[in-house]
Amino acid sequence: MSSQLIIDKTIVADEWTIIELPHVEQKTKKQAGKVVLFKLTGEDSPTKQQIDTTNFPSTGKILLPLKVFLLHKKNLKQRLDKQEIGIWLSTHEEMNKLIDQIGDLNQFPLIAVYVEKFADGRIFSIGTQLRIKYQYKNYLRAFGDVLRDQIYFLKRSGYNSYLIRNDRDAKDALKGLDDFTDSYQGAVDIKEPIWRRLKR
């Protein structure tokens, strides 16, 4: 992937290879004047076929789809111990249902969340949940349709790594981290609201 990576407040080279799921055929139907996508198999996304047929290299740092990691978990233990394995999930995946199978999230040096469309606000609640409910301490990355206007709010939700869309300027996106000088509400990055932080 040729997108540019921002970690904290610096543009850096990406050491991680994102392993993508194989394409599956989808059929479209029209419903109430809107095009609705239906999975051909009717299974959850990603499908069992996608999970079973995903290939990945045997060396190097790789970001695996969450359910692909779970399928190969036993065989990946040594690579995980060497901090070579990260996981990614899409905003529609319910990680809380899989948490017992995943184990301690802090075993992963990197967790990434894929957002297909920038208008999908679930990426913010997933980041907050990972940081607060599951106490994830390592790098948390947003990738997919990630835009400059969202970066400040992604940071507030606990993200500290951003893979900027390859048709956008990472230097311009970097400025988005400083769009506001202070925040009114408490969030992951600054827990107390402004009225608790400022003495009047």
Tens of each residue's pLDDT in the chain, 200 residues: 457 899 988 999 999 999 999 887 655 555 555 555 543 333 457 888 888 889 999 999 999 999 999 999 999 999 999 999 999 999 999 888 888 899 899 999 999 999 999 889 999 999 999 999 999 999 999 999 998 889 999 998 999 999 998 888 888 988 887 766 665 565 666 666 554 556 66
- In order, the DSSP letters of 90-145 are ETTS-GGGTHHHH--GGG-SEEEEEESSTT-THHHHHHHHHHHTS---SEEEEEES
Q: How many beta carbons lie within 10 A of that of residue 14, not counting itself?
A: 18
Backbone angles phi, psi at 199, to 5 degrees: -90, 135
Pair 147, 165: CB distance under 8 Å: yes
* pLDDT of the residue at 40: 37
Pair 136, 130: CB distance under 8 Å: yes
* pLDDT of the residue at 169: 87
d(CA 121, CA 154): 10
- In the chain, the DSSP E strands lie at 4-7, 10-12, 17-18, 26-31, 34-39, 62-65, 85-90, 110-115, 139-144, 161-164
Place of tokens 């233990």: 77
d(CA 70, CA 54): 12
User: From residue 108, how far is each of 67, 85, 180 by CA, in Å?
Assistant: 14, 7, 31
d(CA 12, CA 106): 23
CATH number assigned to the domain covering 4-23+33-197: 3.20.20
pTM: 0.82
Give the N- to C-terminal CA distance of the chain in Å, as an integer. Answer: 49
> Encoding tokens for residue 173?
């996106």
Q: Which of 79, 75, 27, 22 is nearest to 51 (CA)?
A: 22
